[in-house]
Structure 1
Amino acid sequence: MRDEARPVPRVLSIAGTDPSGGAGIQADLKSIAANGGYGMAAVTALVAQNTRGVRSVHVPPVPFLVEQLDAVSDDVEIDAVKIGMLATADIVRAVREWLERVNPPVVVLDPVMVATSGDRLLDPDAEDELRALAPLADLVTPNIPELAILAEAPAATTWSGAVTQAREVAARYGTRLLVKGGHLAGASLPDALVEAVDGTIEVTEFPGIRVETTNTHGTGCSLSSALATRFARSGDWARAAAESKEWLVESIRHGAELAVGAGHGPVSHFAGLWERGGIATRPEPEAVESGWWAHIEDIRADIDELAFVRQLAEGTLDRTAFVWYLAQDALYLRDYARVLARASSLAPTAEEQAFWAAGARDAIAVELQLHERWVPSATMDDITPSAATTAYLNHLLAVSARGDYRILTAAVLPCYWIYADVGARLRQFSHPEHPYRDWLDSYADESFAAATRRAIQIATRAAATAEERTRRAMRDALRASAAHEHAFFAAPLAER
Structure 2
Amino acid sequence: MPALSYPSLSSSSVYPLAAGRDAPRVLSIAGSDPSGGAGIQADLKSISAHGGYGMAAITALTAQNTLGVSAVHVPPVEFLRQQLNAISSDIAIDAVKIGMLGDAGVILVVREWLEEVRPAVVVLDPVMVATSGDRLLTESAGEALRSLLPLADLITPNLPELAMLLGEPEAADWASALDQGKRLAAEYGNTVLVKGGHLAGSECPDALVNTSGLLRQDVVEVAGPRIATKNSHGTGCSLSSALATVQARTGDWEASLREVKPWLLQALVDSSKLEVGSGNGPVDHFHHQRSLRPGGFAATMWKEAVPELEKIHELDFIQELQSGQLPESAFSYYLAQDAIYLNGYSRVLARAGALAPTEEEQLFWAMGSRQCLEVESELHRNWLSTREASGGTGPVTKAYVDHLLATSASGSYAVVLAAILPCYWLYAEVGQKLHAAFVDAGASTDHPYAEWLRTYADEEFASATRAAIKFTDAAAIAASGRERVEMLQAFSQSCRYETAFFDAPRLYA
**Counterparts in 2 of 1:279 and 1:29: CA distance versus 1, 3 Å:** farther
Distance 2:95 2:275 in 1: 32
Letter in 2 for 1:45: A
Alignment of 1:207-246 (within 5 A): 207-246=223-262
Alignment of 1:187-266 (within 5 A): 187-198=202-213, 202-266=218-282
Matched residue pairs, number?
Answer: 299
Distance 1:6 1:177 in 2: 31
1:110 and 2:125 correspond: yes
1:180 and 2:195 correspond: yes
**Counterparts in 2 of 1:276 and 1:126: CA distance versus 1, 3 Å:** same
SS of the counterpart of 2:70? strand
| Offset at residue 272 of structure 1 (A) | 1.4
Counterpart position of 1:43: 58
Q: Quick check: 2:121–2:244 contact (8 Å CA) kept in 1?
A: yes
Q: Quick check: 2:190–2:212 contact (8 Å CA) kept in 1?
A: no
Counterpart position of 2:72: 57
Letter in 1 for 2:281: G
**Counterparts in 2 of 1:347 and 1:163: CA distance versus 1, 3 Å:** closer
**Counterparts in 2 of 1:206 and 1:233: CA distance versus 1, 3 Å:** same
Q: Quick check: 1:11–1:79 contact (8 Å CA) kept in 2?
A: yes
TM-score scaled by structure 1? Answer: 0.56
**Counterparts in 2 of 1:74 and 1:265: CA distance versus 1, 3 Å:** same
Deviations 1:176-230 (A, max 9, x none): 1001010111111011000122499801111111010001000000000010001
Counterpart position of 1:430: none
Distance 2:162 2:38 in 1: 19
SS of the counterpart of 2:194? strand
SS of the counterpart of 2:54? strand
Counterpart position of 2:40: 25
Deviations 1:84-129 (A, max 9, x none): 0000000001000000001111000000001100110001111111
Answer with 1 or 2: which has the greater Rg: 1
1:129 and 2:144 correspond: yes
**Counterparts in 2 of 1:157 and 1:349: CA distance versus 1, 3 Å:** closer
1:275 and 2:291 correspond: yes
SS of the counterpart of 2:267? helix
Q: Quick check: 1:7–1:233 contact (8 Å CA) kept in 2?
A: no
Letter in 2 for 1:110: D
Letter in 1 for 2:177: A
**Counterparts in 2 of 1:278 and 1:244: CA distance versus 1, 3 Å:** farther
Distance 2:190 2:137 in 1: 22
For structure 2, which runs of at least 5 residues remain unmatched after alignment?
1-19, 297-351, 364-462, 468-474, 480-509
Q: Give % identity.
A: 58
Letter in 1 for 2:158: N
For structure 1, which runs of at least 5 residues remain unmatched after alignment?
281-344, 357-400, 406-461, 467-496
Deviations 1:437-465 (A, max 9, x none): xxxxxxxxxxxxxxxxxxxxxxxxx9x96
**Counterparts in 2 of 1:80 and 1:6: CA distance versus 1, 3 Å:** farther
Distance 1:14 1:264 in 2: 23
Partner of residue 168 from structure 2, selected from 141, 150, 153 = 153
SS of the counterpart of 1:171? helix
Deviations 1:24-60 (A, max 9, x none): 0000000001011110000000010011100000111
Distance 2:186 2:40 in 1: 30
SS of the counterpart of 1:14? strand
Structure of higher RCO (CA pairs closer than 8 Å, 6+ residues apart): 2
TM-score scaled by structure 2? Answer: 0.55
Letter in 1 for 2:257: A
